[in-house]
Amino acid sequence: MKRTVLTAVVIVLSCASCNRAAPVSGAGGKPTVALVLKTLNHPFFVDMRRGAQEAADRLGVTLQVQAAEREIDVEKQMQIVENMIQTGIQALAITPSGSREIVSALVKARDAKVPIVVVDTRLDPKAAADAGVHGETFVGSDNYEGGKLAGEYLVKATGGKARVGILEGIPGHETGDSRLRGFRDAVKGAAGVAIVASQPANWERDQGFNVFQNMLQAHPEIDSVFACSDLMALGAIEAIRAAGKTGAIKVVGFDALDDAKKAIAAGSMEASVAQFPAEMGRAAIESAVKVIHGEKLPDEIKVKLELVTRDNVK
C-alpha cells in the first residue's frame, strides 16, 4: 500500500514538472527573440516587423512578434510581455506603449534574466531606475530633433507667419512629448508664429479628424497644422477637406507613411518627418542577438531622420 501511494506521488510530481514552461527554441534549437510592438494596425510597426524578420532570418534566430490591437492599450502589452517571459525567450525587444507603465512588466524580464532592447520609445528614466530595470540599448530616432525639423520647416514654409494647431500623441508618452517639445522649441523664436490650439488625438486617424474638426471650428484662423504622427495628420486633412479649406492650411506630419507621401505628392500635405522603422526592427534584432552572445552594446543606436517634401517625395 505504501509503495502504491509513493508511486502516485512520483507520478503527480512528474506531471507537475511537465507543465512548467520550457525555454522556447525554434527549429534546430535556435534562440528565440520576442518583439513586442505597440500595435500591428499601423504601417509604421508593420514595417518594423518586416525589418526585424529579415534580421532574424539572416541571423538564424526564431522571432516571435505580438502586439495589442490598439496602440494605447498598455495593459494588454503588459500581459503580452509577461506571457512571453513565461515561455522562456532568450531576449525581449519592445516598443513601449507606456514609458512608465510598462516598467512593472519589465521587472519580470529582469527577474528572469531576459535582456531588454528598447525600441522607438524610451522608458521613463526615473521609473526604470526606481524599479531596477535596465535596457541593454535604445534603438530609435531622436524624436526631439524630428520635432525641431518639422518646426523649422514650417517656419520657413510660412515665411515666419502662421497660426498653428497641434495634434498631440498620447499625453505622457515619451515619443509624442519629445516631438511636441522639439516643434515648440523650433517655432518659439519666430515672432510671427503662434500656437493657437494643441490637443491630443492619441495617434489615431479618426481622432485626428474629430479633434481637428472641432479645433478648426473653435479657431477658424488656423492656417497650419503639426501632427505628431501621420495618421493624425491624414485625419486632419480629411477635416480640412470637409471644411472646404484644402490648400489653405499647411499640414506637417511625422513618420512619412505611404499615404502621407501620396498626400504630399498630391499637394494636400506639406511635409512629413521620415523615420525608418524597418531599420529600427533590423537593429533591434541584431542587438538582441549580440546580447545573447554576450556582447556589450552602446547605450543607444540612432536611426536617421529625413524630411520628406514635394521636392524629394518621389
HSE, CB side, 13 Å, CA atoms: give it for residue 267.
4
Q: How far apart are the first and last CA of the chain?
A: 83
Low-confidence ranges of the chain (pLDDT < 70): 1-28
Task: Determine the pLDDT at residue 29.
Answer: 76
Asked whether 223 and 249 are in contact (CB, 8 A), the reply is yes
In CATH terms, 143-274 corresponds, of 3.40.50.720, 3.30.930.10, 3.40.50.2300, 3.30.70.330, to: 3.40.50.2300
Residue 11 amino acid letter: I
CA 156 vs CA 5, 191, 270: distances in Å? 84, 13, 12
Contacts of 83 (CB under 8 A, 6+ apart): none
Phi, psi for residue 240 in degrees, rounded to 5: -65, -40
Residue 259, all three cell numbers: 499615404
Look at residue 28 in the predicted model and tell me its pLDDT: 55
pLDDT of 161-183, one tens digit each?
999 999 999 888 889 999 999 99
Distances (CA, A) of 128 to 37, 80, 84: 19, 19, 20
Helix H or strand E segment including 301: strand 300-302
Would you state the cell numbers that stand for residue 199, as one nine-digit string? 490637443
CA 37/CA 96 separation, integer angstroms: 7
User: CA 55 to CA 50: how far, in whole Å?
Assistant: 9
Residue ranges per structural domain of the chain: 23-141+277-304, 143-274
Give the pLDDT score at 173: 83
3-state secondary structure of 14: helix
Q: In terms of CATH architecture, what is 23-141+277-304?
A: 3-Layer(aba) Sandwich (3.40)
- Strand intervals (E) in 2-75: 32-39, 62-68
DSSP 166-207: EEE-STT-HHHHHHHHHHHHHHTT-TTEEEEEEEE-TT-HHH
Three-class SS of residue 42?
A: coil
Q: Do domains 23-141+277-304 and 143-274 have the same CATH topology?
A: yes
Strands, sheet with 91-94, edge to edge from the N-terminal-most edge strand: 62-68, 32-39, 91-94, 116-119, 137-140, 300-302
Tell me how far apart the alpha carbons of residues 208 and 211 are, in angstroms, rounded to a whole number.
5
CA distance linking residue 31 with residue 259, whole number of Å:
37
Name 172's bridge partners.
none
- Percentage of the chain beyond pLDDT 90 is 86
Nearest of 71, 72, 75, 174 to residue 122 by alpha carbon: 174
Name which of 253, 213, 214 is nearest 234 in CA terms: 253
Strands 116-119 and 162-168, bridge-based pairing:
unpaired
DSSP state of 31: B
Q: Which residue has the cell 527573440?
A: 33
